Chains A and B, each alone.
Chain A
Amino acid sequence: MKNVSRNNKTKIIAFILAVIFITAVVLQIQYLVCTGREFESLFVEKYKDSNNFYFNHVLPARNKVMFLIENKEEIVQPPQDLEYYYYVSDGETVFTNVPEESRKLFDQYNQNLYDLENNNLILGENPEEGYLYHYADDKYTLFLAFPDEYLYSEQVDWENSRLTMMPYIAMMAACLVLALGLIVYLILVTGRKLGDDELHMGKIDKMYTEIQAFAFVSILGIWVSIGMDLFEHNSDLTYKLGLSQVYSLILYGIITVASITLMGLLFLSMVRKIKAKTFIKHSITYIIYFRIKDFLKSFFDGRRFERFPLTKALFYRQMVFIIVSGILVLLTFLFMLIPPLMFIPPVIEIAVIYWYVKYNNKTYEEINKGFDESLEEQMKSERMKVELITNVSHDLKTPLTSIISYIDLLSKEELSDTARDYVNILCEKSYRLKNIVSDLFDLAKSTSGDINLDMEKLDLKKLIEQTLGDMEDEIESSGLQIKTRLPEEPVYIISDGKKLYRVFQNLIDNALKYSLKGTRVYIELEEVDGKAVTTIKNVAGYEMDFTAEEILQRFTRGDKSRSTEGSGLGLSIAESFTKVCGGSFKLDIDGDLFKVTMKFKTER
């Protein structure tokens, strides 16, 4: 079925047939018009009821009679020999072509003629066929009557016209039905092709919708107006065509075929567009509307500020929004003078607000996403760094083991004094390297968060005292005094004791190493608002030309003048361990005062 219906040949044949049928209908109408048939006779049975009669006979008669009475001074003899009877009076003068007794009949109806249905008046012998027209206003009284004989002959012609038209009408109806069927078929299959269910557009479809519609209407107008003008009404009642009319019909047939073909093509193209849902989109109006909308929108959806960073684009969008809104407010006031345009600025403003909110949200989401991504990236790189450090520290340990072992073996050999000095230096440095690797590893583990913690309830006061006891020798040999101010009661916190010991050991070690000789190191612990606050303060024995941030940066040695002992990671480890143990770590450098404050949540 589809094979046939979607075949191009079938479609072309259907199109041609449709054109022929429509042309046939048109030409038949034209023929009937040419030959003077009255189409009204098809619908109105009685001639006297027809508009044809009213307009072609009654009205001219009335006008003529009215002309008589209005120009009564000039009328010498009112016409007598007419196809109708008349009586007209302005109250003074009376014109009529009716004998005296008949005129009384008019007079008789003077008062109540209006009430008579269809304005019919019996005149003469045949009440059925007679026609009386009465016209009256303040000044004039007018009666018209068409006699039976006259109306009878007209009625015969009327019926004759109808009878001779009937076969044509039947033909036209048949043609019209066929044409309509073909048009419906063409509407259904247009754009479809054999083999697929896609919609295929033709070259004509590239015309914009308005141009198509305009062309369609223009052709229709030209065609119809030619159809109106080309033919003269044939007034004789032989129903025969004159030679010139035959030519006109042939010419009009050609014009009709051409017009219908063009209109058909345009029509089907528009049908295809409707099917493809491009009828509106493929119009000049829509394209202009879309361009303008797109232009405005481009300020908001980020296209215009693509090359800027998101936050900058956000800023520009805000600026555009403010400016556009301002302009629109001005326009609103301006357009108040032109009421139909008054609604345009608010509508645009709504669209602008919609875009502004929508794309702002989108930008925020993007910023958020970027933020999350960079955070994840940062965490990932942190993890990778930690992994790297872990691996490297493992890889460092193996050769270091050999180095330390062989240096030890070397020191057991017979050596000159110089060589022994060298070996001692090697020994010392290799142990320092060992400490660095070990610290590096600890730090990497704790900063990665991948560290095993052994959290338990412990007394921070006790831990500080234990650490001081453990480091008594170092403290004594440093020549510094440690001043402690600890509470009487235990200060319980939940933490990892071993890690915290490392923290205090590193901090006290640091204080002992870098304090000015003869000064005191202050270690204080107090409980403030559920927090155990520990401070370690000392006065540096050198100028601290670095900030707290710098010294805490991993692998940075804040000051080059510092001694070359240790790994330089002590403070970083203390900070990192404090944090993994659940505390906060703050370092203040105030002149020569070096102060570390740690806070832990206390436990009842």
Chain B
Amino acid sequence: MDHATILVVDDDKEIANAIEKLLTLEGYRVIKAYNGLEALDALVANNIQLILLDVMMPKLDGLSTTLKIREKKNIPIIILSAKSEDSDKILGLTMGADDYVTKPFNPQELVARVKSQLRRYMYLGDMRNSISSSQLIVGGLSLDRETKEFKVDGVPVKLTPTEFKIMELLMSNPGIVFSAEKIYEKVWQEEAYSVENTVMVHIRRIREKIEINPKEPKYLKVVWGIGYKIEKC
């Protein structure tokens, strides 16, 4: 992991340099490219484990580059873009990117996301081969019903029994929206009466434990005015 090579693609050289520095400090090897075509060349010439890709670039933009890379390789791609709208994010992820970070980004968050993607790519891959029946896996999250273990990108996270039950309920039905009442009835095994706040507080706690940026959760999402769900990855 310490020797992973990361390709940073951005037409703004200062930003590319800053990211290089940030990642070098974390012990990664960094290769820079300033447009999509250079990125594709660099990808051929080097053994690369992760790509940070800007969208608005000359010659070949980030989305097209993503499509090209996905034709051959399955390495993690994190898109870096000044476009911050939901539709842009959805488009990027649909094109095959693994994560989408908007500019300007928090350097620590970027590093965390890089680490998370690398962990999933380098270690979780093996784990996926030996999934036991008691395991629930959604994206980088894994939950073991028997051992009561919960891991995010292979890193164990301590959840309270209630939190664990909530995650178990949501992860066994990824993409399905559960109302607070339903969650309460299933988890607490009591009749739900004015429980929205209680459930929400728990959800927020879980988010703080499992999300890199709890304000922009990747897995555990609130469907405002309706309920909660685990994003299907």
Contacts and interface: CB of A to CB of B under 8 A. Distances in A.
A408 B108 CA distance: 8
Interface stretch (A35-43, A161-169, A492-500): A492-500
A304 interface: no
A405 B18 contact: yes
B199 interface: yes
Chain B interface size, as a band, is 35 or more
A397 B86 contact: no
A332 interface: no
A495 B107 contact: no
Interface string A452-473: 1010101110110111111010
A460 B200 contact: no
A406 B149 CA distance: 38
Interface string A496-529: 0110110000000000000000000000000000
A402 interface: yes
A514 to B, nearest CB: 22
A400 B107 CA distance: 12
Contacts of A408: 22, 107-108
Contacts of A406: 14, 18
A412 B23 CA distance: 13
B218 to A, nearest CB: 15
Contacts of B25: 409, 412
Contacts of B169: none
B204 A469 contact: yes
A109 B2 CA distance: 165
A400 B106 CA distance: 11
A394 interface: yes
Nearest to A498: B224
A404 B224 contact: no
Contacts of B204: 469-470, 472
B104 A397 contact: yes
B46 interface: no
Interface residues of A, number: 40
A394 B200 CA distance: 34
Contacts of B18: 401-402, 405-406, 409
A441 interface: yes
Interface string B95-125: 0000000011111100000000000000000
A437 B86 CA distance: 17
A398 interface: yes
Contacts of B198: 469
Interface string A80-101: 0000000000000000000000
Given A397-B82, A466-B200, A495 B225 contact: yes
Interface in B177-229: 179-180, 196-201, 203-204, 222-227
A501 B83 CA distance: 21
Interface string B1-44: 00000000000101100110110010000000000000000000
A504 to B, nearest CB: 9
A415 to B, nearest CB: 15
Q: Please indicate which of the listed interface residues B83, B103, B179, B222 has the most CB atoms of chain A within 10 Å of its own CB.
A: B103
Interface string A372-412: 00000000000000000000001001101111111011001
B104 A434 contact: yes
Contacts of B225: 458-460, 462-463, 466, 495, 497, 500
A567 interface: no
B107 to A, nearest CB: 4
Interface string A90-120: 0000000000000000000000000000000
A398 B103 contact: yes
Contact of A470 (B83, B86, B200): B200
Contacts of B222: 466, 470, 501
B226 A398 contact: no
Given A401-B15, A434-B104, A459-B225, 20 more contacts: A394-B83, A401-B12, A401-B18, A402-B12, A404-B105, A405-B22, A406-B14, A452-B86, A456-B226, A460-B225, A465-B197, A465-B200, A466-B196, A467-B224, A469-B198, A469-B200, A469-B204, A472-B197, A472-B200, A472-B201
26 contacts: A398-B15, A398-B82, A398-B103, A402-B12, A403-B104, A404-B104, A404-B106, A404-B107, A405-B15, A409-B25, A412-B25, A430-B104, A434-B104, A441-B84, A452-B86, A454-B86, A458-B224, A459-B225, A459-B226, A462-B227, A465-B197, A467-B224, A468-B197, A469-B198, A495-B225, A497-B223
